[in-house]
Structure 1
Amino acid sequence: MLHPILPLILFAFVATATPGIATTLSTASGAQFGFRRSVPLMIGSAAGLATVTGAAAAGLAGLLLAMPSLQLAMKIAGSLYLLWLALKIGRAGPPNLDVTMAKPNSFFGGAGIQWMNPKGWAMGLGAAASFAALADGPGQLALLLGSTFGLTAAVSLSLWCVAGMVLARLLKTEWQWRALNIVLALVLAASIIPMWRTV
């Protein structure tokens, strides 16, 4: 029974585990705040991706393709938000000295990252085209893709958050923390580039 959807699960896991916007934020949040305080961000991001892929499978991605101005507005808003987050991460020091990142990102912050990311919509549309045969209609396909991507994203982001926590244990000095935060900020800012390559 599980065999026909194994390729979809593998596709979703690879797509959600590769470095990008959400994984970078989960790593940074794990390093700064630990796992428990990062849970709202990770759940929000997983839920956001689930709704994006579900909506793409249900046909909303067609609306975005038909309205380039809406796509452009999403890209601009998403890029500005991510640059603001990158600036906050880059300016942060060690967790106990941190004043610029006083609290972790919220559920809606995590979800919003996915809703404004055209890459997520394109991924959902690609998955819908590739795995449409697994469902009996757009509604069932939306449910299948949304739940698969949501669950795999939750696992992937948890692993990245734990990686951030491991880094936090290895870093002992303020300059090491500042270097890590600058690297994470640069990776987050660079992750905007593929968003603008998505047609």
Structure 2
Amino acid sequence: MDVDFFPLASFVVITTFTPGPNNISSASMGVLCGYRKTLPYLAGIALGFLPVQLLSALASSTVLSLLPSVEPVLRVLGAAYILWLAYGTLQATYDFSHSDQPVFGFKKGFFFQIVNPKGVIYGLTLYSTFLAPAADQPLFLCACALAFSVIAFCSVTSWALGGAAVKEHLKNPKIKNAVNIFLALLLVYCAVDLSGLIF
């Protein structure tokens, strides 16, 4: 098993902690309702993330075991997806609405994650590219799925706790641009390393 952990960790942390529907809704609810009332929603997101990751691991492992020659193609597609994320990160505004948002519960967070296509694409990218060398290690892949769910919970918790502070600091265009450029460059590095086309 030859998993390159630095690009993997960079991709996971950046894509999990940057703005997206989960993080923005968690921040809004944290600001409006407080962390304690938001906690069931956050737990629903994290637990809903787990089956999506397990199914992504199974699907990717099956494809790679049946068609091992498809791995280079998946790597290039994964790299292209990450470059698209890098572009989106450059455009991120960190803007979330505070208007009349009801308190979401566990079920809403869980089912939102189950039907979230972004989570599926994220999982398929992880398991068919970064974790492709471990495709024949089911226990390791299950442990990764659990770890990714814990990281997702840490992310939405961070956004819920720091929603107001994050919003205020990132209103400054210089800080916002510096953060976006740094994160986008890390994603570009991940894409280049993953593609195998240059190194």
Please classify the TM superposition score into its range, dividing by the shorter chain length.
0.5 to 0.7
TM-score, structure 2 as length reference: 0.58
**1:47-196 pair list within 5 angstroms:** 47-54=51-58, 60-65=63-68, 67=69, 70-95=70-95, 107-116=116-125, 117-125=128-136, 128=137, 142=138, 144=139, 147-163=142-158, 166=162, 169-170=165-166, 171-172=169-170, 173-196=172-195
Contact 2:82 2:191 in 1 (8 A): yes
How big is the shift at 1:47? 4.1
Number of matched pairs: 156
Distance 2:77 2:90 in 1: 20
Aligned to 2:26: 35
Distance 2:189 2:45 in 1: 20
CA deviation map 1:34-74 (0-9, x unaligned):
537897986776445423444566x6533343x1xx22321
What secondary structure does 1:95 align onto? coil
User: In the alignment, residue 93 of structure 1 is paired with which amino acid?
Assistant: T
CA deviation map 1:72-95 (0-9, x unaligned):
321222222221121111122342
User: In the alignment, residue 86 of structure 1 is paired with which amino acid?
Assistant: A
Distance 1:186 1:21 in 2: 11
In structure 1, the gaps of 5 or more residues are: 1-14, 98-104, 129-141
Contact 1:48 1:115 in 2 (8 A): no
Contact 2:14 2:187 in 1 (8 A): yes
TM-score, structure 1 as length reference: 0.58
Please tell me the root mean square deviation across aligned C-alpha atoms, in Å: 4.0
Equivalent in 12, 15, 35 of residue 22 of structure 1:
12
User: In the alignment, residue 66 of structure 2 is paired with which amino acid?
Assistant: L
In structure 2, the gaps of 5 or more residues are: 29-40, 98-112
Distance 1:150 1:119 in 2: 13
What secondary structure does 2:131 align onto? helix
CA deviation map 1:150-169 (0-9, x unaligned):
22210023224445664872
